[in-house]
């Protein structure tokens, strides 16, 4: 049974953002402070990636563990009410993600998926981002290196 009434639950769910979420903002700030420049939410690409690096042909998705069903994650549990509804909805989200990633790869884009639960350790996150994105143009010229 839900712990709040239907109107309250509806109000809570309506406030969940699809863009500019807290996890996404963490990644954006870290990537920008490391010297990388990017575009946001390119609607002309499959899945509308959160961060797009056109010159590198790379994209990053920042997924919420609940909404995208992060396998094995405690944040990805199914609610106890309306189990059929939530299972169908979250499975559809996951299938759509897989189709989008496949389509992007078919177009020649490299894809990195970051999960909400992985954003806790900033140092390892930065290492992972730099490994995926490669050197910044400024650091390649010797002017600036990503912060650790």
pLDDT at 2: 63
Whole-number Cα distances in Å, 17 to 1, 46, 57, 79, 131: 25, 19, 26, 19, 28
Quote the percentage of the chain above a pLDDT of 90. Answer: 65
* 145: in domain: no
Would the pLDDT of 144 be above 90? no
pLDDT at 81: 82
CB neighbour list of residue 79: distance below 8 Å, 6 or more residues apart: 2, 86
* 102: in domain: yes
Would the pLDDT of 65 be above 70? yes
Show the domain range for 60.
17-132
Would the pLDDT of 5 be above 90? no
* 28: in domain: yes
Predicted TM-score (pTM) of this structure: 0.82
pLDDT at 52: 98
Rounded CA separation 45/77 (Å)? 30
* Band of pLDDT at residue 141, cut at 50, 70 and 90: very low
* 72: in domain: yes
Counts for the chain of helices (H) and strands (E), in that order? 5, 4
Partners of residue 40 on adjacent β-strands: 51
Which CATH number goes with the domain that contains 82? 3.40.960.10
* Band of pLDDT at residue 133, cut at 50, 70 and 90: very high
**Number of domains forming the structure of the chain:** 1
* 7: in domain: no
pLDDT, one tens digit per residue, over 68-89 is 999 999 988 888 888 999 899 9
Rounded CA separation 97/92 (Å)? 9
């Amino acid at each position: 049974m839900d712990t709040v009434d239907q109107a309250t639950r509806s109000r809570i769910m309506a406030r969940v953002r699809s863009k500019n979420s807290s996890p996404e903002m963490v990644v954006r700030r870290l990537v920008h402070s490391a010297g990388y420049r990017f575009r946001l939410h390119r609607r002309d690409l499959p899945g509308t990636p959160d961060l797009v690096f056109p010159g590198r042909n790379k994209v990053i998705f920042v997924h919420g563990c609940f909404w995208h069903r992060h396998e094995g994650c405690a944040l990805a549990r199914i609610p106890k009410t309306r189990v059929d509804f939530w299972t169908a909805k979250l499975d559809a989200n996951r299938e759509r993600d897989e189709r989008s990633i496949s389509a992007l790869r078919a177009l020649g884009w490299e894809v990195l998926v970051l999960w909400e639960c992985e954003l806790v350790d900033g140092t390892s996150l930065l290492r992972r981002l730099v490994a995926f994105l490669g050197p910044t143009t400024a650091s390649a010229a010797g002017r600036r290196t990503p912060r650790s």
